[in-house]
Structure 1
Amino acid sequence: MNKILITGATGFLGSKILKKLVEDDYNVVALVRKTSNLNRIESVKGDFDLFYFNEKSNNLNELFENYKIETIIHTATEYGRNAKTSEVLKTNVIFPIQLIEFGLERDLKLFINSDTFFGKPEYSNSAYLNQYTNSKKYFLDYLFCKREGFKAVNLRLEHIFGEFDSDNKFVTDVLHKMLKSEKEVLLTDGLQKRDFVYVEDVVNAYLKVLRNIDSIANISEFEVGRGESVSVRQFVELMAEQTKSKSKLFFGGISTRKGEIQNSVANILPLNDLGWKPIYDLKTAIRKMIELELR
């Protein structure tokens, strides 16, 4: 049977997409490394196929020989915070290109890419996460310019948040400090604005694209957010309100990063046209996140 290949399946977003695909009875194969932590997908283990990628032997040919893969949902990424540029390029550029090359030798029909709002043309001069954003741009250029014989869809994601994200992510880090009622939480002035979007809404955007793929152009991009931005300060204060934390919020205690994007908001009209809209307002999403984190 035709398979959907998902990369980054043990990550925050990828694991939630995997669970939703399995719930909806899609045939899925998850591509992971031998060193991957499978904790996030233990609950659905056995309901999908697991393929271990061997970087040394590069066994992608075996993957495509064993499975009839028509769709790839690519969520794997390297942010490059503590990685060499060569590692960032290997993960964010070379690896997905190899997937496409092997896929085109067989049954590949669709490639759904996960991108970042940092890569919007209007932010091209931003220095923040430079090697990461540049690597995403390099691959997108390849995907859209070299694409032949398959559909290419780019999902440009705004600031995703939700339960069980990595501890070093901003929302998770601040939330955990609040839940522990740390004496003081150091923050920037928080005036920069972000389109915060709950992860469950993002997962539903992927599924909406998948279900409507026949009506989508061969080369397409969708921005995924709530369609409105709020200041980081407002968002943090909303978390403090929902946690009833006793922590003191010290805005301005940390310098704002050089090259920080001051305001980002998604144009969600194209997704609306597919029948998708965000379900969760920020207060409801934060409350749900807290409840699940405290279980």
Structure 2
Amino acid sequence: MNKKILVTGATGFIGSRLVIKLAASSDEIFVLVRKTSDLTSLSDVLDRIHLIYGDITDSDSINEAMKGIDLVYHTAGLTYMGDKKNALLYKINVDGTKNILRAALANGVKRVIHVSSITAVGIAFDKKPVNESVVWNFDSISLEYARTKHIAEVEVATAVKKGLDCVIVNPAFVFGAGDINFNAGRIIKDVYNRKLPFYPLGGICVVDVEIVAETIIAAMEKGRTGERYIIGGENVSYKQLADTISRITGAPKIHFPLPFWMARILKSILDLYKNKNSISKLFNLSMFRVASEYLYFDSSKAIRELNMRFEPHEHSIRNAYEWYRDRNLL
């Protein structure tokens, strides 16, 4: 029997790839968008989905959107690494999630997938990849984004206790085709355009957006209520990542490691110059502080329980680069 499925955050990178996959099924797909939303990323499937106008921060519109809905994929959220949008981060990531959970409970939704973040899991301080059972330790870095993603997961746990069937997924650093807003893909663009003359000393877990989207769907089908699943791939240092990007794009190699203490000094010097466009937008201190740690993750639970596939990080970087190149976005 066909199901009615609601997706929030459908115009985002992960959300749009998820909707494209869902639209190929026989289910009825509804996407929550604002009147001002850019629907470019959904242009190929607009004839196969239903648009519902609303906003996750408006509880009335969410309650209305959820009437008659069977399943919800909550991918909406604000990703911002800095301290200038703290109130907005809380409003969207925490209050918005509360509105989704409340409306799902009130309308008898059968299951909700909450798309969280690996910042709600933790940091691998000794470079040993962490799994879902680690105690959240991201508060050792002052990053409001991570704090709001963590609190949103606490809200999910509360809703599960109230009887909501909800599963959490935690995507790692997502690369691939379709990253229209240059989320993780910004590093590819900036290495290609020689705007990143140095690399931070930490590392990240790289995963392709197609794997993320298909694993989120698998979590809806097979995930255990109240559990969370890290959707990750290969753990690589920023040096390895930069080398891969250079090799694939043909850009010169980056040879200079930059420790965080030195980054602070360099940033204060660069801020004195007018032409800031010559250096990557990634070079803000909040982001660089995070990039100086090892965000290495163990995704074996998702491989075991959700049949998540693994592929080397080169594939994702190549997919993303070729997608940008073919559209003249670099």
TM over 0.5: yes
Q: Residues 230 and 297 of structure 2 are in contact (CA less than 8 Å); yes or no, is this contact kept in structure 1? A: yes
1:124 to 1:251, Cα distance in 2 relative to 1, 3 A: same
CA distance in 1, matches of 2:13, 2:172: 15
- Alignment equivalent of 1:243, drawn from 249, 255, 258: 249
Q: 1:282 corresponds to which residue?
A: 313
Q: Residues 184 and 249 of structure 1 are in contact (CA less than 8 Å); yes or no, is this contact kept in structure 2? A: no
CA distance in 2, matches of 1:250, 1:59: 51
Q: Is structure 2 residue 109 aligned with structure 1 residue 78?
A: no
CA deviation map 1:175-212 (0-9, x unaligned): 22444xx3553333x33121111111111111211222
Q: Residues 139 and 147 of structure 2 are in contact (CA less than 8 Å); yes or no, is this contact kept in structure 1? A: no
* Segments ≥4 residues shifted beyond 6 Å: none
Q: Is structure 2 residue 231 aligned with structure 1 residue 224?
A: yes
1:83 to 1:53, Cα distance in 2 relative to 1, 3 A: farther
Where in structure 2 are there 5+ consecutive unaligned residues? 122-134, 264-284
- Alignment equivalent of 1:154, drawn from 156, 161, 168: 168
Residue 58 of structure 1: CA displacement? 3.6
CA deviation map 1:125-156 (0-9, x unaligned): 3325x211111122211110232232111111
Aligned partner of 1:282: which letter?
H
CA distance in 2, matches of 1:288, 1:103: 36
Residue 223 of structure 1: CA displacement? 0.9
Structure 1 window deviating more from structure 2 (228-237 vs 143-152): it is: 143-152
Q: Residues 11 and 37 of structure 2 are in contact (CA less than 8 Å); yes or no, is this contact kept in structure 1? A: yes
- Alignment equivalent of 1:206, drawn from 205, 216, 220: 216
SS of 1:203's partner is: helix
**Larger strand share, 1 or 2:** 1
Residue 100 of structure 1: CA displacement? 2.0
1:292 to 1:150, Cα distance in 2 relative to 1, 3 A: same
- The two structures have a TM-score, normalised by structure 2, of 0.77
Q: Residues 156 and 221 of structure 1 are in contact (CA less than 8 Å); yes or no, is this contact kept in structure 2? A: yes
- The two structures have a TM-score, normalised by structure 1, of 0.86
Structure 1 window deviating more from structure 2 (193-202 vs 284-293): it is: 284-293
Residue 83 of structure 1: CA displacement? 5.2
CA deviation map 1:76-120 (0-9, x unaligned): 111344753322121111122112222222221211111111222
1:9 to 1:83, Cα distance in 2 relative to 1, 3 A: farther
Aligned partner of 1:185: which letter?
L
Residue 250 of structure 1: CA displacement? 5.1
CA distance in 1, matches of 2:253, 2:27: 46
Q: 1:192 corresponds to which residue?
A: 202
Identical-pair percentage: 22
CA distance in 2, matches of 1:261, 1:111: 34
Q: How many residues align?
A: 283
Q: Residues 186 and 251 of structure 1 are in contact (CA less than 8 Å); yes or no, is this contact kept in structure 2? A: yes
Structure 1 window deviating more from structure 2 (200-209 vs 142-151): it is: 142-151
Q: 2:257 corresponds to which residue?
A: 252
Residue 57 of structure 1: CA displacement? 8.6
Q: Residues 126 and 259 of structure 1 are in contact (CA less than 8 Å); yes or no, is this contact kept in structure 2? A: no
Structure 1 window deviating more from structure 2 (149-158 vs 247-256): it is: 247-256
Residue 39 of structure 1: CA displacement? 0.6
Structure 1 window deviating more from structure 2 (40-49 vs 275-284): it is: 275-284
Q: 1:63 corresponds to which residue?
A: 65
Cα root mean square deviation, aligned: 2.4
SS of 2:116's partner is: strand
Structure 1 window deviating more from structure 2 (37-46 vs 276-285): it is: 276-285
Q: Residues 4 and 72 of structure 1 are in contact (CA less than 8 Å); yes or no, is this contact kept in structure 2? A: yes
Aligned partner of 1:197: which letter?
V
CA distance in 2, matches of 1:177, 1:258: 18
Aligned partner of 2:211: which letter?
D
Aligned partner of 1:280: which letter?
E
Where in structure 1 are there 5+ consecutive unaligned residues? none
